[in-house]
Chain A
C-alpha cells in the first residue's frame, strides 16, 4: 500500500477517474447529491418546514406564485414534494445500510467458513426471502405501530438476500486464493482475513448493490405509502399519488406530476449511477 506513492494508481482512483469521465454518470451523481442536500435541509427544517400551512385557495393550479400548484387544503405541492424527498431519501439510506450490514456479514461468514454454518445461513436466507415485504411490514406494525421505523425495518430486513448471495459466492472464490493463503501463512486469523483481506476485494459489489438497493427502497416506500401502510401523518410521494387518485377526475394533475417526476428523476439517476459504478469498479469490465 505504501508503495503506491510511486506511479501505480489504486483501484479506487482508477474507478473515480473512469466515473468522472462519464458525463452522464457525473450528472446523475450531482442529481443524487442534490436530493441528499434537499433531504438534509428539509430535515433540519431549513426548507419546506411550513408545508402544512395554507398559502392559497384549494386546488390552485401551478402558476408563477404557486410553482407546483396547491393541494386540497391550499398547501404548496412543492413543499410537500420536498418533504417527501426527505422521507424517500431516508428510507433509501437506512434500508440500504440495514441490508448492507446484514448481507455482507452473513454472506462473508457463510462463504468463508462453509460447511454447517454455510448450510444454516443459506437455509435462513432462502426461507427469509420467501416472506413478501408487505407481510413482514404488517407483522412489524403490529409490534411497533405504523410509521417510518416500521418501513425502514420491513424493507431493510427483506432486501439483504440478493447481496448476501453475491458476497457468499465471492468469498467462496476468494478464500483459497494465494493472497489469502499468504495472509494465513503469516498468522492472520479468520477475522483479519475476512475483513482486512477479502472484503476490500469484493467491496465494489457492495457499493454497486447499495446504489441499486437505494432506488428499489424508494419505490417500495412510495408503494407502501400509497397503500396507506407507509409513513403516517407527513407527506410522502406515495400519499401524494394517493391524493391524486381523486383529484384526477377533477382534472388536477399537478400533485401526481410533482410526485412522480420527483420519484422518476431520482430513481433514474440511481440506476444510471449504479451502472456507471459497475463499469468503473468491476475489474472484469476494465479496458472494455
Chain B
C-alpha cells in the first residue's frame, strides 16, 4: 500500500508542475499567493489566527478597514458610509452603513439580490457572543457592549440562543443606521470593527448551511470562493466577485508610497485581479522554491535563506536582482525584551535593573540575531504608532561602549552588589528553540561582564507560559506583537493591575505609571493622549522594567510583475489592491 501511495504522490507532483508552467490561456489577471499554514475554515467568528482571518477577509467585510497606503496605520470606513459619530461621553457610536451593498449570490437568498443592512451587523456580532457557538473572538467584546454579556449568559443555560431578543449595546436604528453602546470607555473599540471577527454574515446563509456554514462563505467582499464551497485542500481558489460594489483604489497615501508609484492605480475599481489562488505550503523550503519558479508572487524570506538572498544584510544578491525580484522591508509592530519578575525584591531595585540594561550590548545582539536589521528598542512602544518618541535615546540603553560598562559597574555597586558580590545567580528562562537559547547565552555573557551570574534554562513553550502565569520565574526572554496599532496595546504590558495571568508577565507595578495609563487608556485619539502615551513610554524607558530588545523588521521579496504590493502588519483584505502585469510576467518567467 505504502509504495502505491508514494508512487501516486510522485506522479501527482510531476503532473501538476508542468500544468502550472504551461501557457495559461486565461485572459484575465491571476494572483498567486502562498501561506504557511492550514486554514481552519471560513467562518469569521473562528478566525483567530492570521491565516484564517486573511482568508475570511477576502470574502467578508467589516465596517472599517485599515487604509491600505497610510502609515502610521489609520482606520477608514469600509462598509460604513463614514467614520462613526461618537457621543460626548465616548460611549455611544453611531454608524451609517453604505447603501446598495449586495451579498454574493447564493441559493439561500432565492433569486433576488440581497442587500446588506444594519441588522446584519447586529446578527453577526451577536453570533460572536453566542454561547452555543463558542466563537474564538469573544474576548474582543467581552464586557464591552451594554447587555451583550447578559444575553450570552442567559442563553448559555438554554438550548438555543434567541437572536430576536434585543441587546441594548448593539441596535439597528433603521435599515442603514447602526448603534453601539459601550459599557465603559474603550477607545480601541473601532479596531475591533476592523478585525474579521466582527465582519458581516447573512442570517439566511448561516441558517441554510448550519454547521457547514464554515465551508460556505457568502460575504459582500471583493472575492468569492470558486464554486461556492471551501474545501480543505492545498489550494484555495477565488474568483472576482462580479457584483462587488464600486470600491475604488485609494488616491491618497503616505509620501513614501507616492514615491514608489503605489498610487498609479488611483480610482480603478477593485479588485484588480480576476482570479486569486492561495497555495498552502507549510514547509519553508518548498514555498521558497515555488517563489523562485514564479508560482508565487511574493514571499517572506525564510530565515535560513536570509544570507544567500541578502548577503551583505542590506541589498539583494545580484542574481535575484537580475530576475527583477524586489526586496521590501518594513518594521513590524513588535518589541522583544528580557523581563524581570518584579515580585522579587531583587528586581525592585531600579539601580540593579539599570546596571543590567547598561551591561547589555544591543548592537551586537542585533548583529548576531537579527542580521543587524532590527531597530534597537529604546522603550516599549514600537515605531509606526503614536506614543513612540522619534529620536529618543534611552540613557540606560547600551551599545557595548567601555564607559557604559563602567557606569553599569558603578550602578551595580550603588545597588548594593559591588562586582556582583552578594547577588544570587539569576535564572533566565527561555523557550526550547535554538535561537532562544543562544539569546539567553548572550544575555548570560553580557551580565558576566559586570559580575552578575546567570543560568540559562530551556523550557517547552507551554511550560514557560505556565511559569510566567504562576510567577515562578526570575527573568525570561519574550516578544510582543501588536493586536492593533495603538500604544495602549503595548503599555498595558506594564500596567500593574494587568499582572499575570494578565498580559503584564513581569508584574511591574508603578503607581505613577498606573494612574497615567488608566487615564490614557480611556481617552479618544488626540494630541493630549499622544502626549500621555509618550510620557508613559519615557517612564518605561527610564525605569527599565525590562531590558529592552529590538523592534524587528519584515523582509519580503516580490516578483517584478506584482503591482501595488506593500507589507502590512494588518494585511487582511490586501489582495483586492494587488495587481499583476501580465506581459511582464511572461517576459520575466523566461529568466527564472
Contact = CB atoms under 8 A, between A and B. Distances in A.
A197 interface: no
Contact of A249 (B304, B444, B445): B304
A143 interface: no
Interface stretch (A159-167, A237-245, A257-265, A277-285): A237-245
A58 interface: yes
A245 B457 CA distance: 19
A232 B368 contact: no
Contacts of A12: none
Interface in B156-187: none
Contact of A232 (B304, B445, B456): B456
Given A73-B445, A249-B307, A232 B438 contact: no
Contacts of A58: 367-368
A72 interface: yes
Contact of B435 (A227, A228, A239, A246): A246
A233 B434 contact: no
B437 A228 contact: yes
Contacts of B303: 246, 249
B304 A73 contact: no
Interface string B441-459: 1101100100000011110
A67 interface: no
Interface in B452-468: 455-458
Contacts of B444: 233
A239 B437 contact: yes
Interface in A68-89: 72-73
B573 to A, nearest CB: 34
A250 B311 CA distance: 10
A232 B457 contact: yes
A20 interface: no
Interface string B274-309: 000000000000000000000000000001110100
Contacts of B304: 246, 249
A54 B307 CA distance: 23
A52 interface: yes
Interface string B414-456: 0000000000000000001011011001101100100000011
B448 A232 contact: no
Q: Most chain-A Cβ atoms within 10 A of its Cβ — which of B303, B307, B434, B456?
A: B434
A175 interface: no
Interface string B390-407: 000000000000000000
Contacts of B456: 232-233
A72 B442 CA distance: 10
Contact of B441 (A73, A146, A249): A73
A73 B455 contact: no
B142 to A, nearest CB: 34
B438 A243 contact: yes
A245 B305 CA distance: 13
A146 B458 contact: yes
A72 B438 contact: yes
A246 B434 contact: yes
B580 to A, nearest CB: 31
Nearest to A53: B445
Nearest to B308: A249
B437 A52 contact: no
A140 B100 CA distance: 66
Contacts of B445: 52, 54, 73
Contacts of A249: 303-305, 307
Interface in B349-383: 367-368
A73 B448 CA distance: 14
B303 to A, nearest CB: 8
Interface in A217-276: 227-228, 232-233, 239, 242-243, 245-246, 249-251
Contacts of B448: 52
Interface string A1-17: 00000000000000000
A248 B438 CA distance: 15
Contacts of A146: 457-458
A250 B448 CA distance: 28
Contacts of B367: 58
A54 to B, nearest CB: 8
B458 A228 contact: yes
A243 B458 CA distance: 14
Given A72-B368, A249-B304, A250-B307, A232 B455 contact: yes
Contacts of B437: 228, 239, 242
Contacts of B455: 232-233
Contacts of B442: 73
A242 B304 CA distance: 14
A228 B432 CA distance: 6
A145 to B, nearest CB: 8
A111 to B, nearest CB: 42
B212 to A, nearest CB: 41
B458 A232 contact: yes
A250 B445 CA distance: 23
B348 to A, nearest CB: 25
Nearest to A252: B307
B423 to A, nearest CB: 17
A232 B428 CA distance: 11
Contacts of B432: 227-228
A51 to B, nearest CB: 12
Nearest to A58: B368
Nearest to A145: B457
* 10 A-B pairs with the lowest CB-CB distances in the bound complex, closest first: A249-B304, A228-B458, A228-B432, A233-B456, A250-B307, A233-B455, A242-B434, A232-B457, A246-B434, A245-B434
16 contacts: A52-B445, A54-B445, A72-B368, A72-B438, A73-B368, A73-B445, A228-B432, A233-B455, A233-B456, A239-B437, A242-B434, A243-B434, A246-B303, A246-B434, A249-B304, A249-B307
Given A73-B445, A228-B458, 12 more contacts: A52-B445, A73-B441, A146-B457, A227-B432, A228-B432, A232-B457, A232-B458, A233-B455, A233-B457, A239-B437, A242-B437, A249-B304
Interface of B: 303-305, 307, 367-368, 432, 434-435, 437-438, 441-442, 444-445, 448, 455-458
